[in-house]
């Protein structure tokens, strides 16, 4: 599921770049990999017996990405009714020896951390952007999913096995969108729209919600900063549906086998939805009370800055997500992910997320009707805590980066007056709360007034602080 994507075009040595560097130091973010880890990452992988290199896989990622977790091949089924989705996932377990230095370091890092100016990888780049990545014209070990769908896009059968694969093309979203729109895409790629649209329709039927969260970019020019949004293309959403399809199939497979790890999310509390309604009011987005959250999200246009900002705030409803482990046929009380509206598992990004390697092993065992490997069962019960700690770290990085970016954006406007809306008020300090600006779409603390803040009401506010060094933006009632 999405997080807030922020990129920064930084001049080396500029205040924004220095602030982000200081943040990494202050958070104790892992630096370079120890020699033993690099030595293990250079070892050749364990290769599977099944050869699927004849299938012309392709990848769809941002143009600069080189850590390619997934490759796909789409086709029509021989009976003419429905589709076959082949989805290859990088087989990180083929490179990582359980209990070795590389495995230990991955458990320490848990996830790849994304900063606006760089990323801190889960695995050494020699592995994650090299030998384990599904780069074009490179033969790689993979976990190969084969999902047969009916004519409506519903899953009819699932197979998963280890295989050697070879991608033929590395495509980006803009190229994919253009080739589909102008009719030049050949069938394996052209089917992405057909299958993706069917899966979107099924998602709406079951009450699921996919957030097409725009990417924020802060651009520096002569010491001043501008915030822009890159709205996702329809091809982004179609591609995401293939990953979502696989994650749902993985959850079903593990539940049927009785042992697994799910990504779960309870329904959002009323307070969180109420805050989001106030954010909509602040951004002049009409949200009638009879309109559901899912219906509203599907009506938004991420190309519009107000809608883009609101979609960014919608990610707050995903903060209660966690990992639920079960074993021996004792299924958990909660198996669903509220945003997916179905059981769901993380299994398609093992180069960037620790849990996906374990989910893949559990699915391989389930498909073969065999017990999971001992090393998986040994680690299973501690995985939720490790992933929770890693997710908290990633969340802290995200929040601190947002604060820094907003401070950079407003650093020359201290004293200016803005229109905003009070979206939160502290219960025991009613003069302190949170304000959402109309433009730029900044969310920050408001304090310093003498009266109770008017929750949910519009308010003129004055910027009192925008300090890159402390990453703090503060407002007071004007």
Tokens of 477: 């009632």
Is there a contact between 195 and 187 (Cβ–Cβ < 8 Å)? Answer: no
pLDDT digits (tens, 9 = 90+) for 401-447: 888 888 888 988 999 999 988 888 887 898 998 888 888 878 889 99
pLDDT of residue 237: 93
Burial class (CB in 10 A: 0-12, 13-18, 19+), 378: exposed
Q: Would you list the DSSP string of 84-127?
A: EEEEEEE-GGGT--TTSHHHHHHHHH-B-EE-SS-EE-SS-HHI
Which residues, 6 or more positions from 35, have their beta carbon under 8 angstroms from its beta carbon? none
Tokens of 459: 């308010």
Is there a contact between 89 and 69 (Cβ–Cβ < 8 Å)? Answer: yes
pLDDT of residue 283: 82
pLDDT of residue 2: 47
Local mean pLDDT, 10-residue blocks, the chain (478 residues): 62 79 90 96 96 97 93 92 96 97 97 91 97 97 98 97 97 96 93 97 92 77 73 92 98 97 90 86 88 89 80 82 94 93 97 98 97 96 96 89 87 92 85 87 87 87 89 90
pLDDT of residue 398: 86
Say how far apart CA 263 and CA 1 lie, in whole Å. 10
pLDDT of residue 317: 83
Instruction: Give the alpha-carbon dihedral of 165, 169, 174, 180, to 10 degrees.
Output: -90
Say how far apart CA 29 and CA 259 lie, in whole Å. 33
pLDDT digits (tens, 9 = 90+) for 130-185: 999 999 999 999 999 999 999 999 999 999 999 999 999 999 999 999 999 999 99
Tokens of 300: 């938004």
pLDDT of residue 3: 52
Say how far apart CA 85 and CA 16 lie, in whole Å. 43
pLDDT of residue 1: 43
Say how far apart CA 371 and CA 362 lie, in whole Å. 8
- State the residue for tokens 């959403």: 237
Helix (H, G, I), strand (E, B) or coil at 452: coil
Helix (H, G, I), strand (E, B) or coil at 317: helix
| C-beta neighbour count of 99 within 10 angstroms | 12
Q: Structure pTM?
A: 0.89
Say how far apart CA 184 and CA 166 lie, in whole Å. 23
pLDDT of residue 13: 67
Say how far apart CA 104 and CA 96 lie, in whole Å. 10
Say how far apart CA 282 and CA 457 lie, in whole Å. 8
């Amino acid at each position: 599921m999405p997080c807030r994507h922020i990129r920064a075009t930084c001049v080396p040595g500029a205040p924004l770049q220095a602030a982000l560097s200081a943040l990494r130091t202050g958070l104790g973010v892992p630096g370079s990999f120890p020699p033993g880890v690099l030595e293990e990452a250079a070892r050749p992988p364990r290769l599977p017996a099944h050869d699927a290199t004849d299938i012309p896989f392709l990848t769809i990622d941002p143009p600069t990405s080189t850590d390619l977790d997934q490759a796909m091949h789409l086709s029509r089924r021989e009976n003419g009714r429905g589709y076959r989705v082949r989805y290859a996932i990088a087989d990180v377990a083929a490179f990582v020896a359980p209990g070795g230095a590389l495995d230990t370091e991955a458990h320490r890092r848990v996830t790849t951390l994304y900063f606006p100016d760089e990323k801190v990888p889960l695995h050494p780049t020699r592995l994650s952007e090299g030998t384990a990545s599904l780069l074009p014209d490179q033969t790689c070990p993979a976990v190969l999913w084969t999902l047969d769908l009916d004519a409506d896009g519903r899953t009819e059968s699932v197979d998963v096995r280890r295989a050697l694969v070879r991608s033929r093309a590395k495509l980006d979203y803009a190229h994919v969108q253009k080739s589909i729109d102008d009719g030049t895409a050949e069938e394996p790629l052209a089917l992405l729209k057909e299958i993706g649209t069917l899966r979107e329709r099924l998602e709406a039927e079951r009450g699921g919600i996919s957030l097409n969260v725009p990417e924020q970019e802060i651009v520096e020019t002569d010491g001043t900063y501008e915030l822009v949004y890159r709205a996702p293309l329809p091809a982004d959403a179609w591609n995401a549906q293939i990953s979502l399809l696989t994650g749902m199939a993985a959850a079903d497979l593990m539940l049927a086998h009785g042992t697994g790890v799910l990504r779960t999310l309870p329904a959002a509390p009323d307070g969180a939805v109420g805050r989001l309604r106030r954010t909509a009011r602040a951004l002049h987005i009409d949200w009638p009370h009879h309109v559901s959250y899912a219906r509203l999200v599907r009506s938004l246009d991420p190309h519009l800055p107000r809608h883009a900002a609101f979609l960014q705030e919608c990610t707050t409803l995903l903060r209660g997500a966690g990992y639920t482990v079960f074993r021996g046929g004792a299924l958990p009380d909660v198996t669903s992910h509220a945003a997916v509206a179905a059981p769901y598992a993380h299994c398609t990004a093992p180069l960037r997320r620790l849990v996906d390697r374990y989910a893949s092993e559990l699915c391989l065992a389930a498909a073969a009707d065999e017990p999971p490997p001992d090393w998986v069962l040994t680690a299973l019960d501690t995985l939720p805590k490790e992933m929770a700690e890693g997710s908290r770290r990633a969340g802290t990085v995200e929040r601190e980066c947002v604060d820094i970016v907003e401070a950079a954006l407003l650093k020359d406007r201290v004293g200016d007056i803005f229109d905003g809306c009070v979206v939160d008020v502290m219960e025991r300090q009613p003069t302190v709360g949170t304000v959402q600006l109309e433009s730029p779409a900044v969310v920050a603390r408001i304090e310093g007034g003498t009266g109770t803040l008017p929750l949910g009401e519009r308010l003129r506010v004055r910027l009192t602080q925008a300090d890159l060094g402390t990453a703090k933006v503060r407002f007071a009632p004007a």
